Chains A and B, each alone.
Chain A
Amino acid sequence: GQNIDQPTEMTATEGAIVQINCTYQTSGFNGLFWYQQHAGEAPTFLSYNVLDGLEEKGRFSSFLSRSKGYSYLLLKELQMKDSASYLCAVRDSYSGAGSYQLTFGKGTKLSVIP
């Protein structure tokens, strides 16, 4: 099984940088994902890490350390539209039923203030 922890809420100022942490304990690991979910909407894919290190995609970067069971999502030059929940998810090893499964954390609600 998987246990995933991330802060419940964070607040940051427009134009600033914010780091959202995610720690996990797993019985199998095949990648870590970050999704963004605006209130009342569907989650949308942000990033994917399977190897240690930093993946950068525009204003968003994601970091993974497999040995520490740790990831973070870094958001730069915050905008008001970045106010959303950010979901950390870990993918299991390949299951006997023919697929991987994603286990999601409870999400971090980020509020960006002027």
Chain B
Amino acid sequence: NAGVTQTPKFRVLKTGQSMTLLCAQDMNHEYMYWYRQDPGMGLRLIHYSVGEGTTAKGEVPDGYNVSRLKKQNFLLGLESAAPSQTSVYFCASSYTAGDAKQYFGPGTRLTVT
């Protein structure tokens, strides 16, 4: 099992460009999450999904959109990138809402210039 994978690993965007980050998991998990991690800020939840076809907002959703068309994939989109979105993005998944453990992907380092 690959666990949770993320593509790409690194990306540099210019302000105003758009991109999509892909998260895939092969553990048949229902719940998937997108976080961003900034120095001195800790991990913050952007959006999450409780199952195929569902999405919900987290703590910092502005400027991002998500889609969960297939159970194993969770996409994070930036429609018009801003320098404030420079961050490391982590995807995570868990089997149930009550599951104590979230499994994290390796992260995507995004720089917006």
Interface residues in chain A, defined as those with a beta carbon under 8 Å from any beta carbon in chain B: 4, 31, 33, 41-45, 48, 87, 89, 94-95, 97-107
B97 within 8 A of A: yes
Which chain B residue has the least Cβ–Cβ distance from A40? B107
Question: Does B77 reach chain A (CB closer than 8 Å)?
Answer: no
Q: B100 an interface residue at 8 Å Cβ cutoff?
A: yes
B40–A98 CB distance below 8 A? no
User: Would you call B41 an interface residue if the criterion is a C-beta within 8 Å of the partner chain's C-beta atoms?
Assistant: yes
Nearest opposing residue in chain B for A33, CB measure? B100
Q: Is B74 in contact with chain A by the CB < 8 A criterion?
A: no
- Residues of chain B within 8 A (CB-CB) of A103 are 45, 59
Task: A41-B106, A95-B56 given; name 18 further pairs at CB < 8 Å.
Answer: A31-B100, A41-B107, A42-B90, A42-B104, A42-B106, A43-B43, A43-B90, A43-B104, A45-B100, A45-B102, A48-B101, A94-B97, A101-B48, A102-B43, A102-B102, A104-B42, A104-B43, A106-B41
B56–A97 CB distance below 8 A: yes
Cβ 8 A contact of B42, one of A42, A48, A98, A107: A107
Q: Which residue from B42, B51, B98, B101 sits with its C-beta under 8 Å from A45?
A: B101
B31-84, CB < 8 A from A: 31, 40-45, 48, 50-51, 54, 56-59
Cβ-defined contact, B101 with A98, below 8 A: no
Q: Is the CB of A97 within 8 A of B50?
A: yes
CA gap between A44 and B107 in the complex, in Å? 12
